[in-house]
Chain A
């Protein structure tokens, strides 16, 4: 069949159902659902990436605290501990936190007097361990440091950030659940729309059926129509959702917060988001086909 003839045949087939795409509510409902699905998926993927980044960052990090009220002894002990830590083979980096940084961090709560020296603030040393067996290494280090002085403590970062990571992880799973629910709801909307379209075109379907049209021939008419509706709605919802994600991303970056900027989407996540409208069109097309074939199956 020549190209022109094929197009003419396709156009003739498409005329079998009255035009009126985008006139009904279905494309708009799919647009809203796609918008919410993409946002939920982006949230889930972003939070997942943040939890992963946080875990990777924190897994090998710990802070050594020297809790000594006497400033002179604290400084001496801090220097001694820092030197000792640098000799430990599984400690990759040792970084004493400057007193000024500590003062800056507690100033919002304790005011200007925080840096006066009258306040017994522990000295802190950030350390980074070599990868793997973090808990065991921290335990070993704790024993070694306790032997040096009972005033030295060690706190792995993962321990105090674990609740936050858990929260982010739970939110990520919640977003994933929302994506699943939206997918089911989209499928249900398409099934209802296909049934409604099937009922409203019953006369045409009966005529085609009695002329010898096969179920698949008739179902194709509906799946094409609904697929086009889903394509329009999916593209619209996806585009608006992308704009929102880009705007939110800019806002997150503007906060300068290390934690919030950790919510980033790697390219694989963008690819998953881009696949959502394609999946939506496929889901709509298959749901329409299944619904119409089921309805036709009840006819002789």
Chain B
């Protein structure tokens, strides 16, 4: 499988603080399923922000879909973002839009014609079990329902990469299992999944997944298969 994401010696520093991420290098294969784990404050969300192009690194190289996105002109970034679905930790649903319109957002941003929007949105609403809540406002939904809307919105555009930040943090064990099943189904369709979580039992449920672990901004590779073969060091 080809690499869809490559980080090489990536560092991220906010202002004059010490580095939040240091020397992060890894490569994700297209169609893989990855968990990113680590304690709170380890840098999981920062790493995901680099991945979904909300942040540029302070140093290092990030390649997405084979292109260096660190030096990419700003005007080309929207095209890359449309290929990445994001489930935010705080959902970030648009409060004045209905569930239906929230889920349809990525399609509209992509310029899809209105007549073609209804079928995928309805399908997605049923897929996440909210077929009868299409006209509800996010504020009237439970945390778990909002989570599912956020996931539906992230996957409706059939992204090549799905990035989810603690997607099971607000749901019970049964719903967490169902969400994971959704991710696996999506993964089988070829989407590369990256899920940040510190729910280790959840990770154990996906046998084929690989795990990255962040510890104080540095990455370890417990499953041993993330890195490309290290380049030989050139000394002198």
Contacts and interface: CB of A to CB of B under 8 A. Distances in A.
B94 interface: yes
B95 to A, nearest CB: 8
B164 to A, nearest CB: 14
B56 A211 contact: no
Interface size class of A (residues with CB under 8 A): 20 to 34
Contacts of B105: 16, 207-208, 211
B109 A213 contact: yes
- Tell me the interface secondary structure of chain A in the complex: helix
Interface residues of B, number: 30
B114 A300 contact: no
Given A5-B115, A210-B81, A300-B56, A13 B74 contact: no
A211 B75 CA distance: 14
A13 B108 CA distance: 8
B143 interface: no
Interface string A1-41: 11001101100110110100000000000000000000000
A300 B74 contact: yes
A97 B34 CA distance: 106
Nearest to A13: B108
A204 interface: yes
A210 B94 CA distance: 13
Interface stretch (B19-27, B96-104, B195-203, B220-228): B96-104
A208 B54 CA distance: 12
Given A16-B94, A203-B92, A210 B52 contact: yes
A212 B92 contact: no
17 contacts: A5-B113, A9-B108, A9-B114, A15-B96, A15-B101, A16-B97, A203-B95, A207-B94, A210-B52, A211-B86, A211-B106, A212-B79, A212-B80, A297-B74, A300-B53, A300-B56, A300-B77
- A-B pairs with the 7 shortest C-beta distances? A212-B82, A212-B81, A18-B96, A8-B114, A9-B114, A212-B78, A213-B109
